[in-house]
């Protein structure tokens, strides 16, 4: 495991801002970058409290993996439904897959990631 550097934190925060400006979510999102691992198997979580969605990610991961995790979790936020409680076990429904694919294409295939400064 690596560590959470200021540079990595800045990069993740900028990507999160880009996502919020380009992809709608039913509630505003807050990104929480953790300086330590959440759990051996959990790289990130998405949960809702009041009228806000909290995305927490393990900031000690290698940067590219942390970015993938952020996009994975953000796709959960994009497809958040009023009934679902995902903080225990996130579900990967077809809608989540479509949301993830949309952002994946933008960031990794259409060069979006390089455009985010």
Instruction: Give which of 21, 22, 47 is closest to 31, Cα–Cα.
Output: 47
Q: Could you tell me the maximum CA-CA distance found in the chain, to the nearest angstrom?
A: 37
Q: By C-beta, is 32 or 115 nearer to Zn ion?
A: 32
Q: By C-beta, is 59 or 90 nearer to Zn ion?
A: 90
Q: Is 90 in the site for Zn ion (CB under 5 A)?
A: yes
DSSP 2: -
Interface with Zn ion by CB under 5 A: which range of 11-19, 28-36, 82-90, 105-113?
82-90
Q: How many residues does the chain have?
A: 117
State the Cα–Cα distance between residues 96 and 60, nearest whole angstrom. Answer: 25
Residue whose Cβ sits closest to Zn ion: 90
Tell me the closest approach of the beta carbon of residue 76 to Zn ion, in angstroms. Answer: 6
Q: In the complex, which residues of this chain contact Zn ion (CB under 5 A)?
A: 90
């Amino acid at each position: 495991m690596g560590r959470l550097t200021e540079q990595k934190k800045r990069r993740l925060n900028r990507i999160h801002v880009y996502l919020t400006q380009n992809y709608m979510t039913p509630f505003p999102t807050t990104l929480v970058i953790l300086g330590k691992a959440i759990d051996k198997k959990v790289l990130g979580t998405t949960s809702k409290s009041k009228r806000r969605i909290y995305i927490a990610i393990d900031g000690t991961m290698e940067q590219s993996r942390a970015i993938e995790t952020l996009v994975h979790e953000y796709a959960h936020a994009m497809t958040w439904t009023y009934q679902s409680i995902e903080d225990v076990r996130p579900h990967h429904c077809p809608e989540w897959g479509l949301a993830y694919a949309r952002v994946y294409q933008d960031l990794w295939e259409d060069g979006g990631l390089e455009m985010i400064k």
